[in-house]
C-alpha cells in the first residue's frame, strides 16, 4: 500500500509529514525497548536496569509533547485534508498510546525494584514472561504495520489482543490460588498481579495503534468494537 505522502506540490509539506511520522516511529522504538528493559529487569532482579527505565520515562513524555506540538503546527499551517489529515490525527493518537505504554513500562520497572527489595517471588514469572513476549510482539507488529500502511497485518495483530486478555485472566486466577494457598506470599503476588495488569494494558495500547493503521489507510474508525465500519468503506 502506497499512501503517496511524498507527492505534495509543497516539498516542505512532504518533509513536515515525513518527519512527524518519523518522530512517532522513533518514540515507538524507544517505548518498545523500555518495555523490553523493564521486563528484563524484573526477570533478572536487576534494580539498576529498572532505575534506567524510570529515567528514560521522562524522555518519552517530552517526545509526546513535541509530537503534539509539531502536529498542531501542521494543522495550523497546512490545513491537511483526507489522508494527510488522517495521518496527523493518527500520529497524535498513537503518540498518546505510546506515552501510556511508557507509563506501563515504568510500572513494571517499579515492580521490578519492589520485588528485588522484597526478595523474588518465583511464582507468576512464567506467566509474566509469556504475556510480556506476546504484548512486545504485538507492539512491534503494530508499529511495523503502521510503517508499511498494512491493514491486514494490523487486523491480525489486533486480533491477538483477545488471546492476551484470556492469558491475563487465567494468570490472575492462578495468582489468586497462590495467595489462598500461602497468605504470606500475598504482598509479593500482588506485585506480580500489578505487573501482569500493566502488561495486559500494553496489549490494549498496541491494539489501539492497529486501529489507527486502519483509520489512516481506509478512513474507517473501528475503535470500541466498530469493526463493521471497515466493511462499509
Partner 1 sequence: MNTMTLDAPGYSEPASPQTLEKETVDTRTKVRETVGTPFCDNAKLKMRNVNVFYNETQAIHNVSLDIGRNEVVAMIGPSGCGKSTFLRCLNRMNDTIEGCRVEGDLTLDDEPIYGPKVDVVPLRARVGMVFQKPNPFPKTIYENVAYGPKIHGIGSRRAELDEIVENSLRRAGLWNEVKDRLDKPGTGLSGGQQQRLCIARAIAVSPEVILMDEPCSALDPIATARIEELIDELRKNYTIAIVTHSMQQAARVSQRTAYFHLGHLVEVNDTETVFTNPEHELTEAYITGRFG
Beta carbons of 81 and 23 less than 8 angstroms apart: no
- Under the binding rule (CB under 8 A), the answer on residue 228 touching partner 1 is no
- Under the binding rule (CB under 8 A), the answer on residue 82 touching partner 1 is yes
81 CA to centre of own chain: 27
Q: Cβ neighbours of residue 179 under 8 Å, at least 6 residues apart? A: 185, 186, 189, 190
Segment 203-222, which members bind partner 1 (CB under 8 A)? 218-220
User: Which residue has cell 532482579?
Assistant: 45
Cα separation, 80 vs 84, whole angstroms: 5
- Under the binding rule (CB under 8 A), the answer on residue 75 touching partner 1 is no
- Under the binding rule (CB under 8 A), the answer on residue 200 touching partner 1 is no
38 CA to centre of own chain: 14
- Under the binding rule (CB under 8 A), the answer on residue 52 touching partner 1 is no
Provide φ and ψ at 196, rounded to 5°: -60, -40
- State the number of binding residues for partner 1 (CB under 8 A): 18
Q: In this chain, which of 84, 104, 127, 167 binds partner 1, going by CB under 8 A? A: 84
Q: In this chain, which of 33, 47, 83, 116 binds partner 1, going by CB under 8 A? A: 83
- Under the binding rule (CB under 8 A), the answer on residue 8 touching partner 1 is yes
Of the pair 87, 189, the CB lying nearest partner 1 is at 87
- Under the binding rule (CB under 8 A), the answer on residue 86 touching partner 1 is yes
- Under the binding rule (CB under 8 A), the answer on residue 79 touching partner 1 is yes
Q: Cβ neighbours of residue 185 under 8 Å, at least 6 residues apart? A: 121, 123, 178, 179
Beta carbons of 219 and 233 less than 8 angstroms apart: yes
Q: In this chain, which of 9, 117, 119, 231 binds partner 1, going by CB under 8 A? A: 9
User: Which stretches of the chain bind partner 1, using CB under 8 A?
Assistant: 4, 7-10, 13, 79-86, 218-220, 233
Amino acid at each position: 500500500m502506497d499512501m503517496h505522502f511524498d507527492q505534495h506540490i509543497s516539498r516542505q509539506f512532504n518533509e513536515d509529514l515525513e518527519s512527524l511520522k518519523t518522530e512517532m516511529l522513533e518514540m515507538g522504538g524507544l517505548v518498545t525497548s523500555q518495555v523490553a528493559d523493564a521486563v528484563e529487569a524484573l526477570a533478572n532482579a536487576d534494580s539498576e536496569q529498572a532505575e534506567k527505565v524510570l529515567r528514560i520515562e521522562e524522555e518519552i513524555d517530552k517526545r509526546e509533547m513535541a509530537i503534539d506540538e509539531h502536529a498542531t503546527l501542521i494543522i495550523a499551517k497546512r490545513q491537511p485534508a483526507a489522508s494527510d489529515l488522517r495521518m496527523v490525527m493518527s500520529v497524535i493518537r498513537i503518540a498518546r498510546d505510546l506515552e501510556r505504554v511508557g507509563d506501563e513500562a515504568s510500572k513494571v520497572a517499579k515492580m521490578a525494584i519492589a520485588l528485588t527489595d522484597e526478595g523474588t517471588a518465583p511464582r507468576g514469572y512464567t506467566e509474566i514472561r509469556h504475556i510480556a513476549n506476546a504484548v512486545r510482539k504485538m507492539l512491534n507488529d503494530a508499529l511495523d504495520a503502521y510503517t508499511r500502511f498494512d491493514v491486514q497485518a494490523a487486523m491480525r495483530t489486533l486480533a491477538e489482543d483477545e488471546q492476551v486478555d484470556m492469558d491475563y485472566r487465567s494468570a490472575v486466577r492462578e495468582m489468586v490460588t497462590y495467595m489462598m494457598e500461602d497468605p504470606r506470599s500475598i504482598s509479593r503476588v500482588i506485585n506480580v498481579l500489578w505487573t501482569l495488569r500493566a502488561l495486559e494494558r500494553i496489549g490494549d495500547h498496541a491494539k489501539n495503534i492497529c486501529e489507527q493503521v486502519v483509520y489512516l489507510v481506509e478512513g474507517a474508525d473501528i475503535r470500541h468494537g466498530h469493526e463493521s465500519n471497515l466493511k462499509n468503506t
